[in-house]
Structure 1
Amino acid sequence: MNSKTKYLISIVGPTAIGKTSLSIKLAQHYNTEILSADSRQFFKEMQIGTAAPTLEELSQAKHHFIHNRSIEEDYNVGSFEKEAIATLDTLFKTHDVVIMVGGSGLYVDAVTKGLDYFPEVDKSIRERLNLELVKNGLEALQLQLKKLDIEAYNTIAIDNPKRVIRALEICIGSGKPYSSFLNKDKNKRNFKTITIGLTAERETIYNRINKRVDIMIAEGQLEEAKSLIDKQHLNALNTVGYKELFNYFKGEWTLDFAIAEMKKNSRRFAKRQLTWFKRNENTLWFDYKTNVTEILTTLESKFE
C-alpha cells in the first residue's frame, strides 16, 4: 500500500445484515477506528431501538459518532459531514485505513462524495410546509413537488415527509428546481473510498429484520420508547421502532399490531436502503455470510 494514499473502507447494506460485526473485524485487522454513519445511532436516548453496537462491541474497537448527541439537538447531515471529515483528517495522521459503517445513504454519501450546495431559504417556508403536511397530508405535498420539480419527485424518497419538504422549500425559496442544485460543486476528498456492500436474498433479509425486532422488544424497546413519549414531537423520534410504539401508547393500536408495523416498516426501509446503495456501481457486493478472509483479500487487491 502506498503510504501516501489513505483509504476509507465504507460498509453499507440493509438493516440487520451484519455490518457492525464486519466493521469490527476489519477495524481489528487494520488496527484502526470506526466511524458510524447511521443517522439514528448518534442519539444517546435511542439505544435499543436503533440497534446500536452493544457495550461489548464498542469495547472491541474505538467508535466515533455513537450516542454522541441528544435528540434535543438540531443535528443534520451538513453538521455530520463537517465533523466526520475533521475526525477523518485526524485519524489519517496515524492510520492508513479507517472504517465507516452505516445504513443512512445520505450520511454515507456526505462523507464519501460531499454534499450538494443549497441556497439559504427563509425558515418560514419550512414552517408553512410542515403545517400543510399536518393539514392536508403528504400526498398534497408530493403533488406540489411533482409540479415544481418532476426530476426530484422521481428520484428522492417520496414517502419520506422530511425529504419532500426539503425539496419543496428549496424549490419555493430559490425559484429553481431542487434537482438543479444536485451534483454541482462537491468538495474533493483527500482519501480514497472503497465501498463494501453486504446483502442476502430478500427473504433472508426480511427474516433477519423480523428477528431483530423481536430481540429489541425482548431487550426493553417498549420501556425505552415509553420513556421518550413526551419527546415524540422531536424529529429524531419520527422513525421506525418508536412512532409505532407511540401509537400503541396512545391506545390507537394493539401491541401486536404495533410490533407487526415495526417489522413491516423496517422491511420497507431495508428495501429503500438497497435501492440507494445499488446506485453506486463501484460497490463490492458480498453475501452476508462471506468469510472475512475473502473480503480482506479483495480489499488488498484494491489498495495501491
Structure 2
Amino acid sequence: MNYNLITILGPTAVGKTKLAAQLAHHFNGEIISADSRQVYKHLDIGTGKDLTDYVVEGKKINYYLIDVIELPAEFNLFDFYKYFFTCYHQIKANNKTPFLVGGTGLYLSSVIQNYDLKEVEKEKELIEELQSKSYNELKNILLEVNPKPHNITDFESKERIIQAIIVAKAQKPVENKVEIYSLNIGINPGRDVVKKRIKERLEKRLNEGMIQEVEFLLNKNISPERLIRLGLEYKFITEYLTGKISLVQMHNDLYRAICAFAKRQMTWFRKMEREGVKIFWLNEADFDKAKEIIKNNYVFV
C-alpha cells in the first residue's frame, strides 16, 4: 500500500509524543497532534503537552494543533477534521513527512478510517441549543437523526451525543480532503505498566503545579462547569478547588479515572482493528523497532 501518513497511537502515558518526535526528526517529518485537549491554550500540565519532547538533538520538530484555541470556546470533531487537512497539506507543501500522534480515538479514527464528515450550518447555535438539553433528550434526538448509530460510545456522555448529532446533521463537505492511507504504529506496554506510569506521572504533574494551573484558569473567569467538561485532571481538580471533594478524594478519584480512560482508549483501538485498521504494535516506545516498521512499509516520495 502507498501510505501517505504515519500515525503513532496508544493509551495515555506510554511515550507517544517523544517517539513521534524522534521518528519525525529521523524521517524529515512534522507532527499533527490528535489530542482533544491540547488544542486549548493554558491547558499545559494537565494535558501533558511536554513541548520539550518536540526538541530532538537540539532541533525543534514542527507541530500542529497544539495551543490553537482559547477557553471557554469549544473544539469538536469536525474542527479537528478541518484543521487536520489544512495541516496535512501544509506539511506536504513543506516537503515533509506527515505524522499524526495522539490518543483521542475518535479524532484518530476520523482520519485513519476516512470518515465522511460534513459541516453543519449554524453549528455554534445548534451546540448551544443541544447543551441545554438533558441526556435522555439528546439520546432521542440522536436516534431520530441517526436510527442506527455506528458507535455505541456515542452514548457515553452528553458531549459525545452532541458530537454525534452534529456529525449526523452535517451537509457541507470538507473542501481539501484527500484519501488517507495511514501506516499505524501502536504502543502498548500492558495494563499493569500503564497504571504504574499513570500513578508516577500524576504525582509528577501535581508536584509541577497542576492544581495551580486550574486555579489560574478559574481566576481567568473560566467557569467551573466548562473546566469540568474537559474531564479528568480539570474535572477532579476543579471539584476539589470548589469544595466538592477533598484533596485525598481528588487524588484517588483522578487516578482511577485516568486508568479507566486508558482502558477505554485500548478498547477503541481494538475496535478499529476489528473494523480492518492494521496497527503494528510495540511493547514500548522503541525507536529502533518503529524505525524498522517505517523503513519496511513506507515509501518516501
Residue 289 of structure 2 is matched in structure 1 by 294
In 1: Cα distance, 2:264 partner to 2:284 partner: 22
Residue 243 of structure 1 is matched in structure 2 by 235
Residue 261 of structure 1 is matched in structure 2 by 253
Give yes or no for contact 2:3–2:298 (8 Å, CA) kept in 1.
no
Root-mean-square deviation (CA), in Å?
A: 3.2
| Deviation for aligned residue 1:237 | 5.1
Is 1:116 the equivalent of 2:136?
no
Residue 205 of structure 2 is matched in structure 1 by 216
Is 1:131 the equivalent of 2:132?
yes
In 2: Cα distance, 1:266 partner to 1:198 partner: 17
In 2: Cα distance, 1:262 partner to 1:110 partner: 28
Cα distance 1:25–1:72, how it changes in 2: closer, same or farther (>3 A)?
A: same
Cα-to-partner distance string for 1:224-255 (whole Å, 9 max, x where unaligned): 01111231333785321011111111211101
TM-score between both structures, scaled by the size of structure 2: 0.81
Letter in structure 1 aligned against 2:10? G
Give yes or no for contact 1:85–1:111 (8 Å, CA) kept in 2.
no
Is 1:46 the equivalent of 2:35?
no
Residue 12 of structure 1 is matched in structure 2 by 9
In 2: Cα distance, 1:28 partner to 1:157 partner: 37
In 2: Cα distance, 1:122 partner to 1:81 partner: 15
Query: Which of 54, 58, 74 is the aligned partner of 2:54?
Result: 58
Letter in structure 1 aligned against 2:157? N
Consecutive unaligned residues in structure 2, runs of 5 or more: none
Give yes or no for contact 1:198–1:288 (8 Å, CA) kept in 2.
yes
Letter in structure 2 aligned against 1:14? P
Tell me which moved more, 70-79 or 38-47.
70-79
Give yes or no for contact 2:227–2:238 (8 Å, CA) kept in 1.
no
Is 1:227 the equivalent of 2:216?
yes
Is 1:30 the equivalent of 2:55?
no
Cα distance 1:207–1:144, how it changes in 2: closer, same or farther (>3 A)?
A: farther
| Deviation for aligned residue 1:50 | 0.2
Is 1:203 the equivalent of 2:199?
no
Give yes or no for contact 1:78–1:115 (8 Å, CA) kept in 2.
no
| Deviation for aligned residue 1:156 | 2.4
Number of equivalent positions: 287
Letter in structure 2 aligned against 1:7? N
Is 1:84 the equivalent of 2:78?
no
Give yes or no for contact 1:146–1:153 (8 Å, CA) kept in 2.
no
Letter in structure 2 aligned against 1:22? L
Tell me which moved more, 154-163 or 140-149.
140-149
| Deviation for aligned residue 1:186 | 11
| Deviation for aligned residue 1:169 | 6.9
| Deviation for aligned residue 1:15 | 0.8
Cα-to-partner distance string for 1:62-103 (whole Å, 9 max, x where unaligned): 211222221233433222222221221122134352211011
Tell me which moved more, 282-291 or 223-232.
282-291
SS at match of 2:93: coil
Give yes or no for contact 2:239–2:245 (8 Å, CA) kept in 1.
yes
Residue 175 of structure 1 is matched in structure 2 by none
SS at match of 1:24: helix
In 2: Cα distance, 1:131 partner to 1:162 partner: 11
Cα distance 1:35–1:270, how it changes in 2: closer, same or farther (>3 A)?
A: same
Cα distance 1:63–1:282, how it changes in 2: closer, same or farther (>3 A)?
A: same
In 2: Cα distance, 1:101 partner to 1:23 partner: 7
SS at match of 1:95: coil
Letter in structure 1 aligned against 2:297? K
Give yes or no for contact 1:40–1:236 (8 Å, CA) kept in 2.
no
| Deviation for aligned residue 1:191 | 5.1
In 2: Cα distance, 1:7 partner to 1:63 partner: 17
Cα-to-partner distance string for 1:243-298 (whole Å, 9 max, x where unaligned): 11111112111011111111111112112211222223333232342532222212
In 2: Cα distance, 1:122 partner to 1:88 partner: 24
In 1: Cα distance, 2:174 partner to 2:62 partner: 33
| Deviation for aligned residue 1:26 | 0.5
